[in-house]
Structure 1
Amino acid sequence: MKKWFQVLILAVGLILALAPAAVAGAITADELRQVFPQATAPGKTLTRGEFAALLARAAGMQVTADTAGTRGDAWYSSAVMALKEKGVIRGYPDGGLHTDRPVSLLEAAVMASRVLGLPDGVAAPDVKGSLGRESWGYTPYAWLVRVGLLQPGQDAAAILTVDEGVAFLAMVFGSDPEAEKIVQAAKQAQAKVKDLKFAGSMAISARLRPGVAGEVPAVSMQGNIMSEFSYPLNLHQKVDMTLNLPAEKTAGKDLPPGGKMQMTMEQYLVDGTMYQRVEASGMAEPQWMKLPKNALPDLEALVEQSRNAAGLPPGLKDSFHFRYLGEGIENGHKVHRIAYYGRIDDWQALMQALPGGLTPEMEQALNQAGGVLKSISFWGEEAVGVEDNLTYASEMTGLVAFANKFQGETVPLETMTINMKVTDYRYNSGVKIQVPAEALAAPEISLTPSEPEAKLSGSQQI
């Protein structure tokens, strides 16, 4: 297996485990107004260049002052170039940035979504809005409508005033106090849960980097997931997936008709030991594998950290934001609907947030992972019970953007979308997790780089 892919799987798994623990930071309108060299007149139209300066400040970007005098005389030129270098501002079809032109709400939304980590080419969520799907900015518009940052009836072509631009960015890079209060109450309620069982669906799709599509087949997966937790940390998880492989580009005479491959992954974590089994079309009889305890991080500490939202450094806390979407009914429960979104690209901050107990091999792999991932952003919604503050439905989409190269090797994936939707939560139902006898008797495998993959039996390989 390619080294970049091994690192990727480990990195994404640990990021997903940490994501629910993040707490939002905020930027105020008064702080944003300090970007302007002098006070602006009421009702003044906001230009693209001025919006760039506001956006850079709202996102906490480091902007280097223009000392060479080659980037223009405007006070916002350095911010414009910083955003251009990051691909946030890309200009018009004629190649010009036109920073002196008025900025529209749609342009502002597109630039803000890029800063939040929304990759190019991802599919738009299903939302009701006034902007047509044929619009160049429909996808970021739809994502912002989904999390409550834009209202469906807003005129996307409207020109923003300074006041409107400041208010928009203060909302995007801040959080509803009401939503934060509910999120904290939900974490406190979750910390008291003795056991949890949930079921839902999961889908994964990948977008290939231009130029390598002929070398690596595009893959998508859909399926169902079932998880049981008995705290402090015993778990049982089973995932049934259908892999969609392009038969005309995938080598292997055993490929199922139409390129559809069924796969079942099951794992137990009991008393600090993890047992795994993978079953897929074309494999020999599947067998259980046992992972050594010293190869795993302190998983109990990881889960407790996620449940209690404790110990995260500011670099992660400031990366997530929450919006209150109103009340509703979910599975017979009156709920608050909370949207959240955020981006992680500070790998050092992420490493500091991990609990102790990592082996040198895993720590090395995680450090390398910083070179594989460009960023990962999360966009989701949770339904939190009004009476008990427990979650009764959730949907999370993780959007991963990859670096162009890793250790001199082209990373063929450009983006990956991971969607997980859960509508069946059951709390304190007396979950009992018992590892099957065949899993307990499974051979222990090594995760160190010194162990060649050939030492695994055929039934343990995909």
Structure 2
Amino acid sequence: MKQSKKKLTSALLTGVLAMGIALPVYAAEPSAGITRGDFLKLVTTDLNITAASSVELPKDVLADSPYKDAVSAMLERKVLKGFPDGSIRTDEPITGKDASIVLGRVLGFKDDESIKRLQSEIGIDWQSQKVLNATEVTASLAKVLSNDATAIALMDAVQKEMGDVHSYESQLGLHLNMTINSSSQLNDNNLNKSVLDESRSNPNEMSLKMDAEGLVKLDDKQGMMQTMTMKDFLGSGDVDTVTYIVPEGTFTQSPDMVTGKKQWINMSKGMPAFNELMKLQKENATQLSSLNQKYFIYRDLGKETVDGKAFAKVALYGKIPSLKGLMNDTQSLTGMGDMMSTLPSEGKAAVENMGVAANITYWIDEGTHRIYKADMNMSYSVPATGQSPEIAMDMTMNMGYSKYNEAQTIKLPDEAKKAQTMEEYIAQMSAAQSQTGN
């Protein structure tokens, strides 16, 4: 049991690295203010968003409701699902706490960080107000939910320049918290205590934490190579992995969690080809900018001096409700093939519904329009499908860029070309597990 769980966890993490939010309930005030419905309508109007598909309306939002479109858009974006009784209560005044958390979700903030981050980063302090002033809220939302033109112009220039770059290196550091909700009880004794979050109360929930560091090398003709060291992985010491995204496909090498022997896995199925990725970046800068603006809000954070040099600083705040929608948008804008069609049914269902909330900060050389470094905070949610458990991940990544247009050597090792596919690897794991009875 211990071995199979470690292998499954390793496979899940390798795949991630290679590649019911409920409206909080607070007592509503009967006095005048801005209603929940009007607040949601203001948000969707400022974002200029509507639901892209048919969304089942809550029981208290009728088809002729003036808030129908706003509620549908926010449900589709997984910003809210309503109260436990299935209602939205659009006619009730919204409290400062509720408004803060809803706005935080739009910006990609975690619920427990929304109030603090809105205060420190955005300059909004609503949580102490039981009744919000409609005029003040309208003005604040219009400012917060609109893009800074200077930030868009700078990021457009960066997008074009990075598309013209032939090669670079990137050092990265990563911290990951992952929670797996399983239908079968997990045994705490199978994992090192330093890895587990002992504060959890659900016996079917396993929480893992991991730190990693790595190096990415990219050449626009040869491909990309990523080396990664996961620190004290599952309490068993450091684990080294290598990933190639090359014209031949996507391949990952990692040690077998039982024998420790290094093994290659062909992860090409369902992954975009390297030449498609390069084409997407080099030939579709305008389309990519439009796509980013659909999901993210751009903020100009001014300048910051790093290592004696001033860099422009730009932040992106937002949330991608599902990768299916993102992939469909990418296909529509760029003409790339349907990447979802090649996935197995169970994996396809998980990927389609996978959501990502992200805050990204870039430090940019204004002379060259090249990225100097980037900090990323991302939260992933993967719903349970079939035999796959529900997975939630919080990831922080720091990246530093260097060696632009310097010569790189990236070549897929011959032994990787003989690797078993991910499907074959999973089938092998399942067979081994059934033989042991665990």
Give TM-score scaled by structure 2 length: 0.70
Q: 1:340 to 1:236 in 2, by over 3 A?
A: same
**374, 383, 389: which one pairs with 1:411?**
389
- 1:368 matched residue in structure 2: 349
- What amino acid does structure 1 have at the position aligned with 2:259? M
Q: Does structure 2 conserve the Cα–Cα contact (< 8 Å) formed by 1:46 and 1:161?
A: yes
How big is the shift at 1:428? 2.5
User: What is the Cα deviation at residue 215 of structure 1?
Assistant: 3.6
Contact 2:346 2:385 in 1 (8 A): no
Deviation at 1:203, TM superposition (A): 1.3
Q: How does 1:377-416 map to 2 (within 5 A)?
A: 377-403=357-383, 405-407=384-386, 409=387, 411-413=389-391, 415-416=392-393
Give the total of aligned pairs: 384
Is contact 1:66–1:77 with CA below 8 Å preserved after alignment? no
Amino acid at match of 1:88: L
**Equivalent residue in structure 2 for 1:428, among 389, 398, 405:** 405
1:54 corresponding residue in structure 2: 42
Q: Which residue of 2 is the match for residue 342 of structure 1?
A: 318
Contact 1:54 1:166 in 2 (8 A): yes
CA contact (8 A) 1:397 1:418 kept: yes
Alignment of 1:112 with 2:90, yes or no, is: no
Q: Highest relative contact order (Cα 8 Å, sep 6+), 1 or 2?
A: 1
1:169 is aligned to 2:141: yes
Structure 2 counterpart of 1:272: 248
Alignment correspondent of 2:224 = 235
Q: Relative to 1, partners in 2 of residues 1:55 and 1:293: Cα closer, same or farther, differing over 3 Å? A: closer
Structure 1 residue 397: Cα displacement: 1.5
Which shifted more, 217-226 or 417-426?
A: 417-426
Partner deviation per Cα, 1:252-287 (whole Å, 9 max, x = no partner): xxxxxxx35421111334443444321377533324
Partner secondary structure for residue 217 of structure 1:
strand
Instruction: Pick from 221, 233, 242 the counterpart of residue 210 of structure 2.
Output: 221
Of residues 330, 336, 348 in structure 1, which corresponds to 2:306? 330
Q: Does the 8 Å contact 2:251/2:268 carry over to 1?
A: no
- Structure 1 unaligned blocks of 5 or more: 17-43, 121-137, 246-258
Indicate conservation of the 8 Å contact 1:298/1:358, yes or no: no
- Distance of aligned partners of 1:452 and 1:64 in 2 relative to their CA distance in 1, 3 Å threshold: closer
Unaligned segments of structure 2, at least 5 residues: 20-31, 186-201, 433-438
Aligned runs of 1:60-139 on 2, under 5 Å? 60-62=49-51, 78=68, 88=80, 99-101=91-93, 103-104=95-96, 106-116=97-107, 118=109, 120=111, 139=113
Q: Distance in 2 between matches of 1:210 and 1:290?
A: 25
Q: Deviations over 1:99-147 (max 9, x none)?
A: 544643x432211223455455xxxxxxxxxxxxxxxxx511234457x
Distance 2:325 2:126 in 1: 38
SS at match of 1:224: strand
Offset, 1:348? 4.1
How high is the sequence identity, in percent, across the aligned residues?
16
- Residue type at the aligned position of 1:53: K
Q: What is the rounded CA distance, in whole Å, between the counterparts of 1:69 and 1:217 in structure 2?
A: 35
1:6-48, Cα deviation, whole Å (9 max, x unpaired) = 997798568x6xxxxxxxxxxxxxxxxxxxxxxxxxxx95344
Deviation at 1:304, TM superposition (A): 3.5
In the other structure, the counterpart of 1:262 is 238
CA distance in 2, matches of 1:244, 1:202: 13
Counterpart Cα distance in 2 of 1:68 and 1:217 = 32
Q: Residue 278 of structure 1 aligns to a residue in which SS?
A: strand
Indicate if the aligned counterparts of 1:64 and 1:78 stay in contact, CA closer than 8 A. Answer: no
Does the C-alpha gap of structure 1 residues 61 and 305 become closer, same or farther in structure 2, counting only changes over 3 Å? same
Give the distance between the partners of 1:65 and 1:397, measured in 2 at CA: 29
Instruction: Work out the CA distance in 1 between the residues paired with 2:113 and 2:361.
Output: 18
Verify the 8 A CA contact 1:330 1:393 in the aligned structure 2: no
| Secondary structure in structure 2 of the residue aligned to 1:205 | strand
CA distance in 2: counterparts of 1:47 and 1:358, whole angstroms: 42
Closer/same/farther in 2, CA of residues 55 and 228 from structure 1, 3 Å limit: same
1:302 alignment partner in structure 2:
277
